[in-house]
Amino acid sequence: MTNYNDIYQQSINDPDTFWSNAAEELNWIKKWDKVIDHDAKPVPRWFTGGQINTCYNAVDRHVESGRADQTAIIYDSPITNQQRKISYRELQEQVSLFSGVLSSHGAKKGDRVIIYMPMIPEAAIAMLACARLGAIHSVVFGGFAANELATRIDDAKPDIIISTSCGIEPARIIEYKPLLDAAIDQAKHKVSCCILKARPQAKAEMKEGRDFDWDSELDNAQSTDCVPLDATDPLYILYTSGTTGEPKGVIRDNGGHAVAMHWSMKNIYNVEPGDVYWAASDVGWVVGHSYIVYAPLLKGCTTIMYEGKPVGTPDPGAFWRVISEHKVKVLFTAPTAFRAIKKEDPDGEYLEKYDLSCMQSLFLAGERCDPDTLFWARDKLNKPVIDHWWQTETGWAIASNPLGIENMEIKAGSPTVAMPGYDVQILSEEGDEMPTGEMGNIVIKLPMPPSCLPSLWGNDQRFIDAYLTKYEGYYLTGDAGYKDEDNYLWIMSRTDDVINVAGHRLSTGAMEEVLSGHSDIAECAVIGVADDLKGQMPLGLIVLKAGVDRDETDIVKELVQRVRDQIGPVAAFKQAKVVQRLPKTRSGKILRGTMVNIANGTKWKMPATIDDPVILDEITEALQILGYAKS
């Protein structure tokens, strides 16, 4: 079978054969009893009874099969003006030694380890070392503030945290240790051990008996072998924003994840062992887990860890330099990166300075790619530009153009078609299948394919309530859209209040909690408004307490700082406006969706349940003052 339709149909009609064949390409310690266990709860599980080690398949397997001297990781940091190449043999040595460090501090199968690091090779080494032992890693994006880290400490309950002295931005140094100390102080769960990689740009104050130096520990470490793990044992927990503001700990298992990651590299991205693959993301996000660390290494590729920006480090040609210098075959990044490049270099003059003949294709994900950006990238690069759609919860593409199977027609604005294993359907609120071209809730019929989350960490009921309850037998994606006559998917919007800022999913509920904590604020709403560069930006509408008589500018400055301190700069919260009241339904629900439509200048209908229609005129005026609500 060499065409998409045949392969897709086999994956839906005979998933046992399809995924068994895919799994045979990896090394198993013990073969599975069942390819798929339909009786498992809360959802069917993959490769039950099988034993595997993800680190072995991503590292040791390649050393043993003749790839020991091939470069596994290229670290490229224009911010520090450093480059480093790590071969598969060197990676095996570093990972097995750091596993020994973790073991010496008591880490074992099933324990949780939080990794709070920037884009340096040690972050990937720490992840793989955890996988080697069967310890469950939870990577927290280095830009998150102390209280966000504290909530994850309390949920994951780690004994060990791995961090570094600092992260480095183009214009400043972010010291991690004060943030780490503050988070540990705030958390109810107490952490007994921190291992820190020292960077020359900042010195970390070490706490005697709790804090240990990465390099000193490695010097005294013993190498460790890979631990046999059940296919259904967790590999990692990755927290994603929930609509309530409480982070959800997405679980990824070992067996299904490894199989799907390995399969996707050839079939979706069309890369082979030895190819250079670059996901320009961060290890703190799901793209970094899947396509900086695990999938490229499982396939035997060379992966790039880039500590820099698409522009400003030093110029809009930064991506082209990396591609040309390191012979990158496939680039995977967010549309916002290309919008930034396009804004700084609209005519593509920097692109002409580099030889990009090595590059085969560009993949975009993390948010819906607007047609203008897609056309600009395609025309300047003269390469296929693939917009594909997936979620933290799935770990890999739900829909894409599968270049390794068949190069399908690209329709700007669509991520193309459902990938093998994903039975994607469009349902009405009542659960009826929507006609072609009509929008509804996007769902995936169970069972989901390998790698998709089996539950949320420590909270099966929240998983069931959030994803499985609305439509029995289906996973609710939380996205709305439609299918066209060619079965292409069109993802139009989120159905909840999670917003997408430059590819980062952020909870407006969490921001509202921060704003509500200000002593002058009676009520607030945070909405995501359209932004040419970042896709969406958060905007706060605030109602002051009676009797508050202060300058609005000062209050807004304080609110911006609160969000920065409590969530982090990644939230990009910069605008707020005082209003007299917020529009609500008669039952008291704030009409956020209506306000978003007003702000973006899109068509909207007066909600039938609104308690006072006049308030929308007041909201429109407030939004116009900020430069929104243009008809």
CATH number at residue 68: 3.40.50.12780
- Of 463, 488, 523, the position where a domain reaches its end is 463
Kindly state whether residue 475 falls inside one of the protein's structural domains: no
Per-residue model confidence (pLDDT) at position 243: 44
Cα distance between residue 417 and residue 477, in whole Å: 16
245 — pLDDT class (breaks 50, 70, 90): low
More confident residue, 103 or 627: 103
Per-residue model confidence (pLDDT) at position 338: 87
Kindly state whether residue 470 falls inside one of the protein's structural domains: no
Share of the chain above pLDDT 90, in %: 74
Same domain, 248 and 190: yes
Same domain, 534 and 591: yes
- In total, the chain counts a number of residues equal to 631
244 — pLDDT class (breaks 50, 70, 90): very low
Per-residue model confidence (pLDDT) at position 496: 62
Angle between helices 88-104 and 121-133 (to 10 degrees): 60
Same domain, 441 and 572: no
The pLDDT tens digits of the residues spanning 135-149 come to: 999 999 887 889 889
**pTM score, whole prediction:** 0.87
Kindly state whether residue 529 falls inside one of the protein's structural domains: yes
Kindly state whether residue 533 falls inside one of the protein's structural domains: yes
Instruction: At 627, list the tokens.
Output: 């430069």
Over range 516-522, report the average pLDDT: 86
The tally of domains found in the chain comes to 2
Q: Tell me, what CATH number does 590's domain have?
A: 3.30.300.30
Per-residue model confidence (pLDDT) at position 502: 77
Same domain, 93 and 234: yes
Cα distance between residue 323 and residue 310, in whole Å: 12
Same domain, 434 and 504: no
- Of 403, 437, 463, the position where a domain reaches its end is 463
Same domain, 458 and 529: no
Per-residue model confidence (pLDDT) at position 585: 67
Same domain, 537 and 392: no
Mean pLDDT of the chain: 92
Same domain, 455 and 558: no
Kindly state whether residue 363 falls inside one of the protein's structural domains: no
Same domain, 433 and 542: no
Structural domain harbouring 176 = 4-308+388-463
Same domain, 125 and 211: yes
- Of 463, 484, 509, the position where a domain reaches its end is 463
More confident residue, 209 or 524: 209
Per-residue model confidence (pLDDT) at position 297: 98
Kindly state whether residue 318 falls inside one of the protein's structural domains: no
For the stretch 598-623, what's the b/e string if a residue is b when 16 or more beta carbons lie within 10 angstroms of its beta carbon?
bbbeeeeeebeebeeeebbeebbebb
Q: Contact, 309 vs 170, CB < 8 A?
A: yes
Per-residue model confidence (pLDDT) at position 497: 62
Same domain, 431 and 518: no
Per-residue model confidence (pLDDT) at position 140: 94
608 — pLDDT class (breaks 50, 70, 90): low
Same domain, 76 and 195: yes
Q: Contact, 507 vs 242, CB < 8 A?
A: yes
The pLDDT tens digits of the residues spanning 70-93 come to: 999 999 999 999 999 999 999 999
Kindly state whether residue 217 falls inside one of the protein's structural domains: yes
Residue for token digits 């299918």?
Answer: 483
Closest CA to 63 of 86, 92, 84, 85: 92
Kindly state whether residue 621 falls inside one of the protein's structural domains: yes
Over range 368-380, report the average pLDDT: 86
Cα distance between residue 480 and residue 178, in whole Å: 41
What count of other Cβ atoms lies within 10 Å of the Cβ of residue 429? 9
